[in-house]
């Protein structure tokens, strides 16, 4: 089981790099995604394109990539009054968090993923969460996810490892990791096919990919790209 993994795969930049990381290390890798009524549903369409791109460009990874599952969590969207599930402004609220924070989202995702991993005999849950360069979401923090991993292992009476390879690197480091794992082919795939923009904008193309260039996700992706390019040139 330690050679198998289930990747929480949204179709965004971070989860794609986390998927590449897993494919580079595990003998069998499956993916899972969640349709929870997110405003940027276009990310769900990106999932298939990214998986197909990985299969086409990386034969070894293709041999390791197993099935994908997409779970519908409609009720979660119904109880989540946030800018990720409603057409409301993206801003910082009274708690100091952006209104894109969906309370309990990662906790729920990992719980569902753990149930699937138990049934499929997969030993590691892989996520693209990060607390070095992020929007401040408390359920992206290392302490949160490792504590959750321990609770899931106890609750299932089976050890499940929670791996977050991006946890301690910034977005520039994420671009650099993509290049280190898969060269220019993976960087191009991330740029062209992944989707991160909270508004679901696929009409505007920048050096770093598609997006609105204004939401917090686009800001992080753009800033990381610029920093990575500067580091590459110096």
pLDDT in tens, 124-142: 999 999 988 766 778 889 9
Give dist(CA 50, CA 191) in Å, integer: 11
pLDDT at 40 over 80: no
* Among candidate residues 25, 33, 35, the one with its CA nearest the CA of residue 50: 33
Give dist(CA 11, CA 97) in Å, integer: 24
Segment 79-85 shows an average pLDDT of: 52
pLDDT for the residue 173: 96
User: CA angle, corner 221, sides to 234 and 227, nearest 5?
Assistant: 15
* Among candidate residues 210, 216, 36, 193, the one with its CA nearest the CA of residue 134: 216
**Who wins on pLDDT, 16 or 233?**
16
CATH architecture assignment, domain 4-233:
3-Layer(aba) Sandwich (3.40)
Pairing relationship of beta strands 205-206 and 209-210 according to DSSP bridges:
antiparallel
At 83, the pLDDT band (50, 70, 90 cuts) reads very low
Average pLDDT, the chain: 89
Map residue 30 onto helix, strand or coil.
strand
Per-residue buried b or exposed e for 87-98, using 16+ beta carbons within 10 Å of the residue's own CB: eeebeeeeeeeb
At 73, the pLDDT band (50, 70, 90 cuts) reads confident
Q: Which residue has the tokens 């609105």?
A: 212
Segment 196-214 shows an average pLDDT of: 94
At 80, the pLDDT band (50, 70, 90 cuts) reads low
pLDDT for the residue 91: 47
pLDDT for the residue 98: 52
Map residue 208 onto helix, strand or coil.
coil
pLDDT at 87 over 60: no
Token pair belonging to 10: 């949204």
- The reported pTM is 0.91
């Amino acid at each position: 089981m330690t050679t198998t993994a289930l990747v929480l795969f949204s179709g965004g930049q971070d989860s794609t790099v986390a998927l590449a990381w897993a494919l580079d290390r595990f003998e069998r890798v499956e993916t899972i995604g969640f349709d929870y009524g997110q405003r940027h549903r276009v990310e769900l369409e990106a999932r298939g394109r990214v998986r197909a791109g990985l299969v086409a460009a990386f034969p070894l990874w293709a041999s390791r990539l197993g099935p994908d599952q997409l779970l519908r969590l409609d009720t979660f969207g119904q109880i989540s009054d946030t800018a990720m599930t409603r057409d409301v402004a993206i801003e910082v609220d009274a708690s100091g968090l952006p209104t894109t924070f969906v309370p309990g989202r990662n906790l729920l995702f990992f719980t569902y993923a753990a149930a699937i991993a138990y049934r499929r005999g997969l030993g590691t849950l892989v996520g693209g969460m990060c607390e070095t360069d992020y929007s401040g979401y408390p359920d992206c923090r290392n302490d949160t996810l490792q504590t959750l991993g321990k609770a899931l292992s106890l609750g299932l009476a089976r050890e499940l490892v929670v791996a977050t390879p991006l946890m301690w690197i910034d977005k520039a480091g994420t671009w650099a990791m993509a290049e280190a794992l898969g060269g220019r082919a993976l960087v191009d795939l991330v740029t062209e096919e992944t989707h991160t923009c909270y508004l679901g904008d696929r009409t505007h193309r920048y050096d770093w990919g598609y997006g609105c260039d204004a939401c917090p996700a686009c800001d992080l992706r753009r800033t990381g790209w610029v920093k990575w390019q500067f580091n590459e040139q110096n």
